[in-house]
Amino acid sequence: MPQNIEIKARSGNQEKIRTILYSMHADFRGVDHQVDTYFNVPCGRLKLREGNIENNLIHYFRENREGPKQADVTLFKSLPGTSLKEILTKALGILAVVDKQREIYFIENVKFHIDNVIGLGTFVEIEAIDENGTIGIKRLNQQCRQYLEILEIPKKDLISVSYSDLLL
């Protein structure tokens, strides 16, 4: 099962983060307008991501704490225009909807998001991803902490919850 360690933080200087990522030769994957619909579920979080780059049904468990945190993610690649959202809405009900513009970058196995979230503001996310279990949690944590320093993200800007929680 894939393993993720991730960090979310408020970002008052996205241009600086963008500049640092480019200076490190990050692979820019594009800007994705994403609408994440969160559904009512008894455990974890379930969201349908609809974007022009990423379209996924995502269920995940993650602690609500600042700094690097492990996320146990199950991902289903969905196709735009199907009845999946209608089915989930009727079966579970909608908890929250998060609408954002997301810039997506990669450096090796680490994914970076520069987000502008409607109603919340600007953020940066760091996700260290181990797709096949060869990197390990310890190294993923090290990568997240390393990029926190490189991107000069202050501890006071760290966010412990999801965008849906902030909206609620």
Show me where the domains of the chain are located: 3-167
What is the CATH architecture of 3-167? Beta Barrel (2.40)
- CA nearest neighbour of 38 among 160, 165, 142, 146: 165
Instruction: Give percent above pLDDT 70 in the chain.
Output: 99
Mean local confidence (pLDDT), 62-89: 90
123-161 in b/e burial notation, b at 16+ Cβ within 10 A? bbbbbbbbeeeebeeeebbebbbebbeebebeeeebbee
Confidence of residue 70 (pLDDT cuts 50, 70, 90): confident
pLDDT of 1 higher than 70? no
24 Rama sector, left if φ>0, alpha if ψ -120 to 50, beta otherwise: alpha
For residues 56 and 76, the answer to whether their CB atoms sit within 8 Å is yes
pLDDT of 48 higher than 70? yes
pLDDT of 105 higher than 90? yes
Q: Pick the more confident residue, 166 or 1.
A: 166
